[in-house]
Amino acid sequence: MKPVLLLSNGHGEDLSGALVAAQLIQQGISVTALPLVGHGNPYRQLGVPVLGRTRSCSTGGLGYTSLAGRFSELLEGQLLYVLGRLLLLRLHRRHYGLVVAVGDVLAVLGGWLSGLPTAVYLVAYSSHYEGRLRLPWPCGWLLGRPSIRAIWSRDSLTATDLVQQLARPVHFLGNPFLDVVSAANPHRQQHPPDAVAAGLELALVPGSRLPEAARNLGLMLQVLALLPDNWMQVQGLRLRAALVPDLDRRRIAQLGQSLGWRLEGEDRLVRGPLLLELGWGQFTEILRGAALVLCTAGTAAEQAVGLGKPVLQLAGRGPQFTAGFAEAQRRLLGPGVHCAPGPSGQARTLATSAHLVQTLLDQQRDPHHGPRLQRELAAIGLERIGRPGGSAAMASAIMELLADPAALPSPNRP
């Protein structure tokens, strides 16, 4: 049986692809990854071979969100790089029996150009944005090609919508990115017995792309400084930041110093009575313990909603987490995601964000409204993200395709 190639175009897409790949490897299937954006670190961390040499760009593949981003990608040669990656796929296609495309139209296009049978996890699009999904050209046409053997959506509403639009089966099997933070994941980090504070926890998730993540962490530090000391003491509020390795202690110390914070020891930022615990490689633990997630990230917000956590956005300068991206994310993820109105970084916007932190955490602790709110958030998570188990479900569907010789013809011209 020939290996399976995972083709993904985005950091969150790499994570989902890597989780599916890990499930396939457990079933004895050989898997290779071809990330179109960045180095594909999730694949590497799970031991999945990556095809060819990889590189990253300053926009993280999100240049389409702004004119400046598009210009930056042109200067950095991102378009030529992606075309080179697709050519690499075409040159190596004889080694693979099936392509699994994870992402948007670019991943779908790559699968079609390979000339190989392709399964598509269309994670980048949802009917929750507008009520009816408007697929960008030529995505709708590509999804109707005979080489596309299976289509999986990111939610049930989108599956129903696409069945009508494409006149072919589309299934919702769950979202693999939820598995890595779910209680059903046997490899997730556990809370140490003495680590869970008696009060509420506020998680800070500034994202993974630098320098954007550093700028957004700076906004978060300003919001924390506006929280009333007496209120925080009454709540017993614990502050924790989930950080990527690139956002290292040196960067944190410099950023904090400019905003009146100081690095104390190896993993704490202090500003007067405020103490922010810094966690590298502790995302799952921090997210699961949070009563509220202060977030400037894409996939992390989706994972939080899937766990029934309320999310408070802080729109920044981008390239990813702009006001436009944040607004689209609220339409995608529903009423459990909140954002203060006003221009990014302005004093009034930050003050309103701090007030929202208080309001949302007070709602969580309220003995009458808190349990009802948690049930509502859990229902939103099921509707917008689904249940854990998407990785195994997709791997099982891929195994069925591989087991059907008629579904996997020899490579052909697209």
pLDDT at 413: 47
Q: Examine the domain organization and report whether 343 and 272 are in the same domain.
A: yes
**CB-based contacts of 52, cutoff 8 Å, min separation 6:** 34, 85, 88
Question: What phi, psi does 225 have (nearest 5°)?
Answer: -65, -15
pLDDT for residue 70 is more than 60: no
Residue 58 banded pLDDT, cuts 50, 70, 90: low
DSSP 299: H
Helix, coil or strand: residue 201: strand
In a domain, 196, yes or no: no
pLDDT of residue 407: 57
pLDDT at residue 235, rounded to an integer = 87
> Has residue 188 been placed in a domain?
no
Contact at 8 Å (CB) between 114 and 124?
no
Is residue 256 within 8 A of residue 262, CB to CB? The reply is yes
pLDDT at 408: 56
Residue 195 lies in a domain: no
Confidence bin at 1 (pLDDT 50/70/90):
confident
Q: Looking at residues 318-334, what average pLDDT do you find?
A: 94
Q: Is residue 230 part of a domain?
A: yes
- Which structural domain, as residue segments, surrounds residue 131? 4-182+388-407
Predicted local distance difference test score (pLDDT) of residue 199: 78
Is residue 220 in a domain?
yes
Sequence-separated (6 or more) residues with CB below 8 Å from residue 26: none
Q: Does residue 49 have a pLDDT over 60?
A: yes
Task: Tell me how many domains the chain contains.
Answer: 2
Q: How confident is the model at residue 201 (pLDDT cuts 50, 70, 90)?
A: very high
Lowest mean pLDDT of 58-62, 219-223, 275-279, 344-348, name the range: 58-62
Global pTM exceeds 0.85: yes
**Percent of the chain residues past pLDDT 90, beyond the cut:** 80
pLDDT value of residue 318: 87
Tens-digit pLDDT profile for residues 2-37: 899 999 998 899 999 999 999 999 999 999 999 998
Direct distance between the N- and C-terminal alpha carbons of the chain, in angstroms, rounded to an integer: 22
The answer to whether residue 189 scores a pLDDT higher than 90 is no
Q: Does any domain span residue 194?
A: no
Identify the weakest region by mean pLDDT among 54-58, 235-239, 292-296, 406-410: 406-410
Q: How far is the CA of 283 from the CAs of 31, 32, 373, in angstroms?
A: 26, 26, 24
Distance in angstroms (rounded) separating the CA atoms of residues 17 and 177: 9
Domain check: are 49 and 169 in the same one?
yes
Cβ atoms < 10 Å from Cβ of 260: 12
Q: How confident is the model over 94-118, as a mean pLDDT?
A: 95
The whole-angstrom separation of Cα 184 and Cα 201 is: 22
What pLDDT does 392 receive? 97
Residue pLDDT, tens place only, 253-267: 999 999 999 999 999
Same domain, 153 and 278: no
Contact status, residue 156 vs residue 390, Cβ threshold 8 Å: no
Dihedral sign for Cα atoms in the order 151, 152, 153, 157: positive
274 and 209 within one domain: yes
Sequence-distant (≥ 6) Cβ neighbours of residue 308 within 8 angstroms: 336, 374, 377, 378, 380, 381
Instruction: Clarify whether residues 109 and 226 are in a common domain.
Output: no
pLDDT in tens, 361-372: 999 999 999 999
Strands (E) located in 286-374: 292-295, 311-313, 337-339
C-alpha span between 124 and 323 (Å, rounded): 18
State mean pLDDT over 224-233. Answer: 94
Q: Are residues 178 and 251 in the same domain?
A: no
Whole-number pLDDT of residue 75: 47
135 and 273 share one domain: no
Q: Residue 29, by phi and psi: left (phi above 0), alpha (psi -120 to 50) or beta?
A: beta
- Give residue 81's pLDDT band: very low, low, confident or very high (50, 70, 90): confident
Residues 395 and 270 grouped into a single domain:
no
Quick check: is 187 in a domain?
Answer: no
53 pLDDT band, cuts 50/70/90, is confident
Q: Which pLDDT does position 101 carry in this prediction? A: 98
Same domain, 233 and 357: yes
Residue 318 domain-assigned?
A: yes
Q: Buried b / exposed e across 199-222, counting CB within 10 Å, b at 16+?
A: bbbbbbbbbbbbebbbbbbbbbbb
DSSP characters over 4-73: EEEEE-SHHHHHHHHHHHHHHHHTT--EEEEESSB--HHHHHTT--B-S--B--TTTT-GGGSHHHHHHH
Tell whether 113 and 257 lie within a shared domain. Answer: no
Q: Are residues 235 and 290 in the same domain?
A: yes
pLDDT in tens, 262-304: 999 999 999 999 999 999 999 999 999 999 999 999 999 999 9
Q: What is the mean pLDDT of residues 186-195?
A: 37
**Cβ contacts of 150 within 8 Å, gap of 6 or more:** 119, 120, 169, 171, 397, 401
> Do residue 365 and residue 264 come from a single domain?
yes
**Element (H or E) spanning 225, and its range?**
helix 212-225
Q: Which two tokens stand for residue 210?
A: 């630098």
pLDDT for 8 equals 95
CB 206 within 8 A of CB 241: yes
Beta strand 262-264 pairing with 268-271: antiparallel
Check which CATH number belongs to the domain holding 306 and give it.
Answer: 3.40.50.2000
State mean pLDDT over 380-390: 97
Local structure of 171: helix, strand or coil? strand
